């Protein structure tokens, strides 16, 4: 065998997927490719007797480099191949050349900036489940970005073991259908951006390579607000075709219509008008602890009993009993207003105020409930700051007069700190006193505030701005007003 010259290695022949070479008698080299020709494999099934390992390694390397000059697996040629041949170790399918597979492009991908509802209940940090909070729908405000549709990518071409380019499959576009109340545009990166043109519920319809999105401005709850729906928190308007049950809450930024009633312990807030088909109920005796039913527009309901009802606009009721009514507009009670208190900025009118049993009923007009609430808050903060100032001044006197136990430097530092704090408190108190005066003056601003009823019963307390009048005898068809500049309350016959 030593006298037989080695054969010249051959380059890869045409479209063949398997090639055999015999550079020396008895030494067969079998080359094969994978399907996309990104890897080449070598098999040596046997070795002839008397084979010189160095000669064999050189011939095998030469054969590989001739066939795959750019993509040869140099690590295999330099380390593994000499060891395999020196040990006369047969092997099958060892990678001797490696190309680069093409990276196919990605299909157009929708990026949901508003996550789709999971329909699951809220899991609290301690692991317990809040069965009153459920992820059933998602809402957005006008102008809010809902979705970004990324365009498909072209992919990256590869290269086979012969150095030839392998084309990549480009990604497929995803179609986007814009439904009602959404608008699309293109950002500087070439992506399609979908925004809401009004507030409401986001609804997606997602299929392979297809997305449809729309906004429903009014959320429809077909029954009660209960454990099935969970609490409602919605950007937009809503219609509840049942009732809001005890312990649940509804918060919407738009108008809210409740076909049924609002039960005791339910909390309701509407950014617009609130219409309740039946009544608004609260727990008797809870007072300020009763959850508030509030609207930033008008409130209209059949009745309110033991409830706390607040409107930035007007309040319209058929009847009210032991309720706390507040309106920055007017209050209209068609039948009887009995017990509790009602405060309106403009006017208050009822069929009857109080009852024959003399139930104390407070009615107030000419004062904004929101201004009064801010004034009460300022007074509370002032009381707290004044208390802090008294304590600070006591400590300062003690340090100055009886601080001999402290080092001189420590006494001066502590006194300076207390003086700075006292000066800051005096400044805060001064500014809040001015704010308190402004709020008090706004409460006394003159307007055409009147309180009218077909009948006032004894036990009724009438307040118009800073003046107060107690009804001692039954008064029929009267309108109470504040006479200026005497600032006394008088009444005149009711004018229909």
Residue 358 forms part of a structural domain: no
pLDDT score at 339: 95
Where a domain ends, among 51, 66, 98?
98
All residues at 6 or more sequence positions from 465 whose CB lies less than 8 Å from its CB, including other chains: 365, 366, 367, 443, 444, 446, 449, 482, 487
| Rounded distance between C-alpha atoms, residue 352 and residue 457, angstroms | 8
Residue 464 forms part of a structural domain: no
Q: Which two tokens stand for residue 431?
A: 């500014």
| Rounded distance between C-alpha atoms, residue 31 and residue 320, angstroms | 95
Q: Which two tokens stand for residue 327?
A: 């309106």
Polymer length in residues for the chain: 496
Residues 113 and 190 in one domain: yes
| Rounded distance between C-alpha atoms, residue 105 and residue 169, angstroms | 6
Q: What share of the chain is helix, strand, coil (3-state, %, to 5)?
A: 20, 40, 40
| Rounded distance between C-alpha atoms, residue 471 and residue 490, angstroms | 11
Residues 258 and 310 in one domain: yes
Residues 131 and 202 in one domain: yes
Residue 196 forms part of a structural domain: yes
All residues at 6 or more sequence positions from 37 whose CB lies less than 8 Å from its CB, including other chains: 99, 160, 161, 162, 164, 166
Q: Are strands 475-483 and 450-456 parallel, antiparallel or unpaired?
A: antiparallel
Q: 358 — alpha (psi -120 to 50), left (phi > 0) or beta?
A: left
Element housing 419 (H / E) = helix 408-443
Element housing 408 (H / E) = helix 408-443
Chunked into runs of 10 residues, the chain (496 residues) has average pLDDT values of 61 74 85 91 90 89 89 88 91 92 94 83 82 84 92 94 92 93 90 92 91 93 93 93 95 95 95 96 77 94 95 96 94 96 92 95 84 79 89 84 73 84 88 80 66 95 90 93 79 77
| Rounded distance between C-alpha atoms, residue 191 and residue 91, angstroms | 52
Residue 490 forms part of a structural domain: no
Element housing 362 (H / E) = strand 361-365
All residues at 6 or more sequence positions from 110 whose CB lies less than 8 Å from its CB, including other chains: 147, 148, 149, 150, 174, 176, 206, 211
Cis omega before residue 485 (within 30°)?
yes
Residues 380 and 438 in one domain: yes
pLDDT score at 240: 96
Of 146, 151, 155, the residue nearest 108 (C-alpha): 151
All residues at 6 or more sequence positions from 65 whose CB lies less than 8 Å from its CB, including other chains: 72, 77
Residues 238 and 190 in one domain: no
Q: Are strands 292-295 and 299-305 parallel, antiparallel or unpaired?
A: unpaired
Structural domain containing residue 384:
372-443
DSSP string, 136-193: ---EE-TT-EEEEEEPPP--B-EE-TTS-EEPPPPPPPPEEEE-TTEEEEE-TTS-EE
| Rounded distance between C-alpha atoms, residue 29 and residue 284, angstroms | 97
Residues 234 and 300 in one domain: yes
Residue 13 forms part of a structural domain: no
Residues 126 and 149 in one domain: yes
Residue 194 forms part of a structural domain: yes
Residue 346 forms part of a structural domain: no
Say if CB 325 and CB 307 are below 8 A apart: no
pLDDT score at 496: 57
Residue with tokens 């005497």: 486
pLDDT score at 1: 45
Residues 232 and 211 in one domain: no
Say if CB 28 and CB 53 are below 8 A apart: no
Residue 281 forms part of a structural domain: yes
Where a domain ends, among 60, 76, 98?
98
All residues at 6 or more sequence positions from 431 whose CB lies less than 8 Å from its CB, including other chains: none
Residues 186 and 270 in one domain: no
Residues 74 and 89 in one domain: yes
| Rounded distance between C-alpha atoms, residue 112 and residue 146, angstroms | 6
pLDDT score at 286: 67
Please tell me whether residue 92 adopts helix, strand or coil conformation.
strand
Element housing 44 (H / E) = strand 39-44
Residues 238 and 311 in one domain: yes
Where a domain ends, among 296, 328, 360?
328
Residues 113 and 205 in one domain: yes
Element counts in the chain: helices (H) and strands (E): 5, 35
Domain count, the chain: 4
């Amino acid at each position: 065998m030593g006298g037989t010259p080695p054969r010249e290695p051959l380059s890869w022949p045409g479209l063949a997927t398997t090639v055999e070479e015999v550079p020396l008698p008895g030494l067969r080299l079998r080359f094969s490719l994978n399907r996309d020709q990104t890897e080449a494999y070598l098999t040596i099934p046997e070795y002839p007797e008397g084979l010189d390992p160095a000669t064999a390694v050189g011939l095998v390397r030469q054969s590989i480099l001739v066939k795959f000059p750019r993509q040869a697996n140099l690590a295999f040629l330099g380390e593994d191949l000499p060891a395999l041949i020196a040990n006369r170790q047969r092997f099958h399918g060892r990678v001797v050349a490696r190309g680069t597979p093409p990276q196919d492009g990605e299909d157009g991908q929708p990026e949901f900036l508003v996550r789709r509802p999971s329909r699951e209940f809220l899991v609290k940090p301690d692991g317990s489940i809040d069965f009153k909070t459920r992820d059933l729908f998602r809402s957005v405000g006008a102008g809010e970005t809902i979705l970004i549709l990324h365009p498909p990518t072209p992919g990256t071409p590869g290269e086979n073991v012969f150095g030839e380019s392998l084309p990549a499959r480009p990604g497929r576009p995803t179609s986007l259908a814009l439904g009602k109340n959404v608008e699309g545009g293109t950002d500087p990166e070439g992506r399609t951006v979908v925004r809401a043109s009004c507030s409401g519920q986001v609804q997606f319809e997602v299929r392979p390579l297809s997305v449809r999105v729309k906004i429903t401005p009014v959320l429809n709850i077909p029954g009660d607000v209960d454990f099935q729906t969970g609490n409602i928190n919605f950007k937009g308007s809503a219609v509840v075709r049942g009732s809001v049950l005890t312990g649940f809450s509804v918060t919407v930024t738009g108008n809210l219509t409740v076909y049924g009633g609002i039960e005791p312990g339910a909390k309701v807030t509407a950014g617009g008008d609130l219409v309740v088909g039946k009544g608004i109920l609260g727990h008797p005796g809870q007072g300020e602890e009763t959850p508030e039913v509030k609207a930033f527009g008008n409130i209209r309901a059949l009745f309110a009993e033991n409830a706390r009802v607040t409107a930035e606009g007007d309040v319209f009721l058929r009847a009210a009993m032991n309720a706390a009514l507040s309106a920055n507009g007017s209050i209209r009670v068609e039948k009887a207003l009995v017990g509790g208190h009602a405060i309106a900025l403009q006017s208050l009118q009822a069929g009857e105020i109080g009852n024959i049993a003399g139930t104390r009923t407070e009615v107030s007009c000419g004062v904004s409930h929101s201004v009064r609430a801010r004034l009460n808050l300022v007074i509370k903060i002032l009381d707290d700051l004044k208390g802090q100032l008294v304590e600070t001044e006591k400590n300062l006197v003690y340090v100055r007069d009886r601080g001999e136990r402290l080092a001189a430097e420590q006494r001066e530092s502590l006194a300076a700190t207390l003086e700075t704090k006292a000066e800051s408190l005096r400044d805060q108190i001064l500014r809040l006193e001015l704010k308190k005066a402004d709020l008090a003056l706004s409460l006394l601003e003159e307007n055409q505030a009147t309180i009218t009823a077909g009948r006032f019963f004894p036990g009724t307390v009438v307040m118009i701005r800073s003046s107060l009048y107690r009804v001692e005898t039954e008064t029929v068809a009267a309108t109470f007003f504040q006479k200026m500049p005497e600032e006394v309350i008088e009444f005149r016959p009711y004018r229909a």
